[in-house]
Amino acid sequence: MLPLYINSDTLIRLDRLKNPTDDSFVNNATVTFTLKDSSGANVTGAVAVSMAYVTSSDGRYEGLVANTVTLGDPQTEFDLEVTIVGTRTDFRKIRCVSKYRGSR
C-alpha cells in the first residue's frame, strides 16, 4: 500500500505514462487524483488535485496530498483514484494507508 504521511506533505508520483498504441511516453495529459475514505467519500482537500507534468521527464506527473488533509489515525486506509485524460482516458485506483513519517 502507498503510504500517506499524517501531518506531512505526501508527493504522489505517476511514472512513465505511456501510450499503449505506440509505446511512446505521454507528456501532455491532464492528470488528477481524488482521495477517498473507506466509505467511498471524498476526503476534503484532496479532490481533483492536479498532477503536473515534470518538464523533460518521460511521462512523469506529480501532485501533492497536503499536510492539511486530515488522514485520521495511523493505519487508516484510503483509495487514491487517478484520472488521466490525453490521447485516451485512463483510470487507476491505488490503495493507501496513513502513517507517521519514519514509522513502519
Cell 483510470 locates to 91
Sheet with strand 2-5: strands edge to edge:
2-5, 89-99, 77-85, 30-36, 49-53, 61-65, 10-14
pLDDT at 102 over 90: no
CATH of the domain at 66: 2.60.40.10
Distances (CA, A) of 70 to 5, 54, 65, 92, 98: 10, 27, 10, 22, 10
Burial of 84 (0-12, 13-18, 19+ CB in 10 A): buried
pTM of the predicted protein model: 0.90
Residue 55 is predicted with a pLDDT of: 95
Give the residue-averaged pLDDT of 4-28: 93
Q: What is the chain's mean pLDDT, rounded?
A: 94
Instruction: Decide if 104 is inside a domain.
Output: no
Q: For residue 68, give its domain range.
A: 2-99
Mean pLDDT confidence for 22-46: 95
Average pLDDT over residues 57-76: 96
pLDDT of residue 75: 96
Number of domains in the chain: 1
